[in-house]
Amino acid sequence: MALGASCGLNFIHYMHMFQLNSYHADEQFKWIGKNIKDVIMRHVFTIGAILTFIICGETNASTCFIAAAFLFLGIVFSAPKKAKKKLVFTPRVMRMTVTSVILYVLLILLVFLTLGMGYASLAITMCVQILTLVMAMLANLINKPIELMINRHYINDAKRIINGLPDLTVVGLTGSYGKTSTKFYLEKLLGAKYNVLMTPESYNTTMGVVKVVRGQLNATHEIFLCEMGAKNVGEIKEICDIVKPKHGIITSIGPQHLETFKSIDNIIKTKFELADSLPDKDGIIFLNYDNEYIAKHECNKNKVTYSLGGGTDYYADNISVSENGTQFTVHNGNEEKQFATKLIGSHNVQNIVGAIAVANTLGVPFADLVMPVKRLECVPHRLQIIKGTNKTIIDDAFNSNPTGAKAALDTLAVFDGFKILVSPGMVELGEKEYELNKRFGEQAAEICDFVIAVGERQAVPIVDGLKAKGYPEEKTYVAKNLNEALAKVENIKTGGEKKIVLLENDLPDNY
Q: How far is CA 439 from CA 8, 147, 434, 467, in A?
A: 43, 42, 9, 11
- Residues 246, 305, single domain; the answer is yes
Considering the domain boundaries, does residue 509 fall inside one? no
Tell me how far apart the alpha carbons of residues 114 and 68 are, in angstroms, rounded to a whole number: 24
* pLDDT (0 to 100) of residue 332: 94
* pLDDT (0 to 100) of residue 510: 45
More confident residue, 77 or 345: 345
Nearest to 151 by CA among 211, 100, 230: 211
Taking only the tens place, the pLDDT of each residue in 245-279 is 999 999 999 887 777 888 999 999 999 999 999 99
* pLDDT (0 to 100) of residue 117: 59
Considering the domain boundaries, does residue 14 fall inside one? yes
* pLDDT (0 to 100) of residue 343: 92
Considering the domain boundaries, does residue 379 fall inside one? no
Considering the domain boundaries, does residue 154 fall inside one? no
- Residues 368, 396, single domain; the answer is no
- Residues 236, 309, single domain; the answer is yes
Residue 107 burial class via C-beta count within 10 angstroms: exposed 0-12, middle 13-18, buried 19 and up = middle
- Residues 365, 399, single domain; the answer is no
Sequence-distant (6+) residues with CB within 8 A of 57 are: 119
> Which CATH number is 432's domain given?
3.90.190.20
3-state secondary structure 397-428: CCCCCHHHHHHHHHHHHHCCCEEEEEECCCCC
Number of domains in the chain: 3
The angle formed by the CA atoms of residues 420, 178 and 462, to the nearest 5 degrees, is 35
Taking only the tens place, the pLDDT of each residue in 485-510 is 999 999 999 988 999 999 998 754 44
> Which CATH number is 362's domain given?
3.40.1190.10
The angle formed by the CA atoms of residues 507, 349 and 416, to the nearest 5 degrees, is 70
Confidence of residue 162 (pLDDT cuts 50, 70, 90): very high
* pLDDT (0 to 100) of residue 79: 64
Considering the domain boundaries, does residue 155 fall inside one? no
φ and ψ of 65, to 5 deg: -65, -45
Give the H/E segment covering residue 477. Answer: strand 476-479
- Residues 343, 315, single domain; the answer is yes
- Residues 352, 496, single domain; the answer is no
- Residues 293, 318, single domain; the answer is yes
| Domain termination residue (choose one: 328, 349, 374) | 374
* pLDDT (0 to 100) of residue 122: 57
Tell me how far apart the alpha carbons of residues 245 and 391 are, in angstroms, rounded to a whole number: 44
| Domain termination residue (choose one: 82, 112, 146) | 146
Considering the domain boundaries, does residue 235 fall inside one? yes
- Residues 132, 186, single domain; the answer is no
Residues of the chain above pLDDT 90, percent = 59
- Residues 77, 129, single domain; the answer is yes
More confident residue, 483 or 119: 483
Give the H/E segment covering residue 308. Answer: strand 303-308
Taking only the tens place, the pLDDT of each residue in 98-127 is 999 898 888 877 777 776 655 555 555 556
| Domain termination residue (choose one: 323, 355, 374) | 374
* pLDDT (0 to 100) of residue 511: 38
Considering the domain boundaries, does residue 490 fall inside one? yes
- The strand pairing partners of 306, in sequence order, are 288, 314
- Residues 368, 398, single domain; the answer is no
Considering the domain boundaries, does residue 318 fall inside one? yes
- Residues 132, 176, single domain; the answer is no
- Residues 286, 180, single domain; the answer is yes
Cα torsion angle, 241, 242, 246, 248, sign: negative
Is 421 in contact with 441 (CB distance < 8 Å)? no
Tell me how far apart the alpha carbons of residues 336 and 228 are, in angstroms, rounded to a whole number: 31
Residues spanned by the domain of 495? 384-504
Specify the pTM. Answer: 0.82
